Structure 1
Amino acid sequence: MEAVMARINLVLVLCVAAAALMASFVAAAGEGAAATAKELRRGFSVTHDQSYSQFQPVLSDPTGAFALGFLRVDTTMLDLAVLHLPSAFPLWRAIPDRPAPWSAAASLSFDGGLVLTDHAVNKVLWSTAAASASAGDRVLLLNTSNLQIQSASGSSADVVWQSFDYPSETIVQGQNFTSAAALYTFDRRFAMRLGSNYFGLYIEPPPPSSSGVAAAMYFKHTALEAKAQIVAGGGPTYARVEPDGFLAMYQKEGPPADVLSFDTFNRGVRAFRRMTLEPDGNLRAYYWDGTRWALDYTAITEPCELPTTCGAYSVCRAQPSGRCECLANATDGSGCATAAAPAASVGGSLCGTTGGEVGGLYRAVRRQGVEPVNKELLGFERAASAADCEARCERNCSCWGAVYSNGTGYCYLMDYPAQLLVEGDERKVGYFKVRSLEDEAAARGRSGASRVKAVLLAVGVAAVVGAAAFGAYKVWDSRRRTAVDARRQMGDVDDGLSPGPYKNLGSFSSVELTNSFRR
């Protein structure tokens, strides 16, 4: 009996093992069918599949941690992105100038260069063609999240194009960030750029670039150059997030010229790291701890130093921190954007002042006890008085505001619409050019009234001209009738009713009538 039971147990074990083996084969086959490509070759093309809710993968890296594919942005728009799959965070995006809706009949193709096309309108949304002069032979996604187009050259491969050279909002560890690139927030309101020995955060001017507004730097980090000197003319500098937990600035490989420490610096935390310029305009660093992105660095810690805390034409109060009030005629910061037009709507002339008031759609606003939080980053001049400082800005067509310090005699000039203002002592006096919606509405009303007056004037002129023409016609017709009567008495006129040459017809209107009758 025991032998029979043993044989039955053996059979059961073998069946379970066979079932498990079969299940593993099925799972492997299913995974292989659903797996994305590891490499794209010339002639590759894939169509956007709307059945994917958020992300449609196309190409993956060797580790399976990253993927290139179609990404749904802001619930309705389509983009091309490299995703960190465990967190679904986009590390790189193509960001077309005119993005297509998620429902678009789009495709991604490779024939030497990557091309994202909207076939519904037969338009290229984005491509790598403008970035590379030569064509590549294959596309790879490396285990660093770097998307590369490579060309086969003998036994080696040359990089024709790579996403690391064209970052969007994020740089990752091992990625060189140079002055040839910039980080932009998705709405392009803010940017991060690298200078010769510093990096800065900027409020971007609204398009077009001819709007007369300059980029406003609101944060600057300068290299300490403790371990290496940055030599003028010695080549471009670059910054890189290092795995030990810091952002380093280099001019050449070797000791860094600057080390910006993160919270985990030298703590032995080995993890994948990124640094992102976020929608609020702040620069933050994170590392992936296996389940979430752990915050590791924040560039701006004071709310009043962030441009999004209060916005344009507002004053930020340090106590309580982050409380906002409008620059003029309001106490609640929430109404400043409607009381005065934001930077995106600026335009027109900043000159032509009369009696201290700005011409066009702009008016002067003066306020005591305010100063720019970024005054160390602004240009300044010595001025004899607050009136002298104000006059310098008033005469300057690119000056949007000026703040004078009675304590130092410095005059700080702003070449962007008033923002990043904080409370200062009463010795600070500010002068700002503001375009309000009320002024704009009034200007539109005046413009509308001018158009009505022009129309009424045109109608009046037309009426006068018509009356004059009618009077002239009456005089002419009276004279014609007198001449006809005189000729009838002499027997020369037959009223145009008998056959004869045209010269015998009484008037040109008779010619029209006769011709019309004949038709």
Structure 2
Amino acid sequence: MGGRCFAVLCVVLASLGGVAADAAAVAVQELRRGFSAAHDGSNSQFEPVLSDPAGVFALGFLRVNATMLDLAVLHLPSSFPLWRAIPDRPAQWFARASLSFDGDLVLTDRAANKVLWSAGAAGDRVVLLSTSNLQIQSGSSPGVVWQSFDRPSETIVQGQNLTSAAALYTSDRRFAMRLGTNYFGLYIEPPPSSSGGVAVAMYWKHTALEAKAQIVAGGGPTYVRVEPDGYLAMYQKEGPPADVLPFDTFNHGVKAIRRMTLEADGNLRAYYWDRNGSRWVLDYTAITDPCDLPSTCGAYAVCVPPSGRCACLANATDGSGCAAVSGGGEGGGGGGLCGRTGGEVGGLYWEVRRQRVEPANKELLPFEHSPSAADCEARCARNCSCWGSVYNNGTGYCYFMDYPAQMMVAADERKVGYFKVRSLEEAGSGGGGGGRVAGVKVALLAVGVTVLAAAAAFGAYRVWKKRCRAAADASRQVGADDDGLSPGPYKNLGSFSSVELSSSFRG
């Protein structure tokens, strides 16, 4: 037994060279009632507490974002967290924290005398399996009373079932992966400050083909699982899968640890561990076009394919994003969008109109047939939960968004967009809201005067630029979808003449 423990400690120390020997010494293979381990902030990144039998995985205190403390299960050879507790109110890395087990596994900030996270279970021991599954087990039936495989964070590993009862979230909870009855999708999550005024927005969807097995209504929940042969399978019951999403190594005989992670940019990627190269090898990417990712340009911006360059729907920016976002457009303020426009006293939003744009995820949006762009706009304007609409003059379809405008891409002249933007008065905290709205009106008036003075010169410039563009090298052409974007991040989109604010802002 002593030799086995020594081998485990050697693996831990070799994989995490900065971990002190006394911290590694407490990495055991089972936690019993009465166990407690104090966090030692002097260690650099990770303090192991519990190890799996082979010493490949460890549970311990993890340092995240340079300053914060979390509880995590690490893949030791790569130092990659396969599971994280992600407390709602995390503590600082140097906090006096401890991990204890007395039936329930609890992470505590001792200085503040508060529980940071708990499993909410009652068992007799805690073990970490060779699959990386952290379990609280009981001597009586059922044997497993809690397991990390049922409570994933950003990642699922080979052999782990992800059911509709759980979801994958990015660590900042901006994006999520969830299962439906016969599909799974990626979603933009409403910010905590939205107070119900913003809906979740699906931006990617994969529907089961049901070629080998049918999904039966009422036949039980569906689940997905990363399989060792290099694919993600969807099941309703064990047997032939209802759907197979192949990775690059599908049936290539690669035998390795596999994982699928919802990453910080909102993309879903799969990897396998290359033991010879000692690295995670990318094996699948759900979204390959940058304009199809909500993180590429953010809210109130337009992405120009194929380059992925960004432009604002309306105002100029400070370089960190479109100016509308700082006015609360990305969830600031709660409730619906009922009330007067921002140009009026007590108004809730401004209105922005933009041509040549459309949602990248329009196939996932609700739509109706509409006789005109004006009718499409009116339907959204009188809908308290509608944040924007886009009308296609070619098809007559009117698409609706119940979240602040995101995933917008440059399109042809047939597409016309109408968007609501939270006013500064509604989004701001404390007093002075009316002054901020008045300031916005004055600023917009000044912009309008400037635009009128420069309109003729700008029109001539556009004609000249189009002629130059037609003769330029093909690799430097932007095309009709660009509408005259200058290189660089977050430029104003095209001509000011195609951006129209509500009449209340035009004095």
Specify the alignment match of 1:492 in structure 2. none
CA distance in 1, matches of 2:363, 2:435: 45
* Aligned-pair CA distance for 1:215: 0.3
Specify the alignment match of 1:385 in structure 2. 372
- Are 1:88 and 2:79 matched, yes or no? yes
Specify the alignment match of 1:414 in structure 2. 401
Q: 2:119 aligns with which of 105, 115, 128?
A: 128
Q: 1:41 aligns with which of 25, 32, 43?
A: 32
* Aligned-pair CA distance for 1:362: 1.1
CA distance in 2, matches of 1:373, 1:279: 20
Contact 1:349–1:360 under 8 Å retained in 2: no
CA distance in 1, matches of 2:346, 2:339: 5
- Are 1:50 and 2:41 matched, yes or no? yes
Contact 2:426–2:433 under 8 Å retained in 1: no
Specify the alignment match of 1:75 in structure 2. 66
- Are 1:119 and 2:100 matched, yes or no? no
1:207 to 1:334, Cα distance in 2 relative to 1, 3 A: closer
- Are 1:174 and 2:150 matched, yes or no? no
Counterpart mapping for 1:463-478 below 5 A: none
- Structure 1: unaligned runs, 5 residues or longer: 1-23, 451-519
Counterpart amino acid of residue 336 in structure 1: C
Counterpart amino acid of residue 305 in structure 1: D
Cα deviation 1:271-301 (Å, max 9, x = unaligned)? 0000000000000000000100000000000
Counterpart amino acid of residue 213 in structure 1: V
Q: Secondary structure at the match of 1:83?
A: strand
Contact 1:368–1:429 under 8 Å retained in 2: yes
- Are 1:316 and 2:287 matched, yes or no? no
1:197 to 1:148, Cα distance in 2 relative to 1, 3 A: same
1:355 to 1:87, Cα distance in 2 relative to 1, 3 A: closer
Q: Which of structures 1 and 2 has the larger relative contact order (alpha carbons within 8 angstroms, sep 6+)?
A: 2
CA distance in 2, matches of 1:145, 1:25: 19
* Aligned-pair CA distance for 1:166: 0.2
Aligned residues between the structures = 420
Counterpart mapping for 1:227-242 below 5 A: 227-242=212-227
Specify the alignment match of 1:274 in structure 2. 259
CA distance in 1, matches of 2:83, 2:36: 21
1:282 to 1:351, Cα distance in 2 relative to 1, 3 A: same
- Structure 2: unaligned runs, 5 residues or longer: 11-20, 438-507
CA distance in 1, matches of 2:247, 2:436: 61
* Aligned-pair CA distance for 1:207: 1.3
Cα deviation 1:51-109 (Å, max 9, x = unaligned)? 21110000000010000000011111111000000000000000111001111111111
Counterpart amino acid of residue 308 in structure 2: G
Counterpart mapping for 1:183-222 below 5 A: 183-208=168-193, 210-222=195-207
1:407 to 1:422, Cα distance in 2 relative to 1, 3 A: same
CA distance in 1, matches of 2:54, 2:422: 54
* Aligned-pair CA distance for 1:448: 6.3
Q: Which structure's residues are more often helix, by fraction?
A: 1
CA distance in 2, matches of 1:159, 1:209: 38
CA distance in 2, matches of 1:83, 1:431: 47
Specify the alignment match of 1:265 in structure 2. 250
Identity among equivalent pairs (%): 76
Q: Secondary structure at the match of 1:82?
A: strand
Cα deviation 1:237-260 (Å, max 9, x = unaligned)? 000000100000000000000000
Counterpart mapping for 1:392-407 below 5 A: 392-407=379-394
Counterpart amino acid of residue 295 in structure 2: T
CA distance in 1, matches of 2:424, 2:76: 46
* Aligned-pair CA distance for 1:383: 1.2
Contact 1:94–1:126 under 8 Å retained in 2: yes
CA distance in 1, matches of 2:5, 2:247: 46
Q: Secondary structure at the match of 2:116?
A: strand
Cα deviation 1:116-137 (Å, max 9, x = unaligned)? 11110110111112xx4xx211
Of structures 1 and 2, the larger Rg is shown by 1
* TM-score under structure 1 length normalisation: 0.76
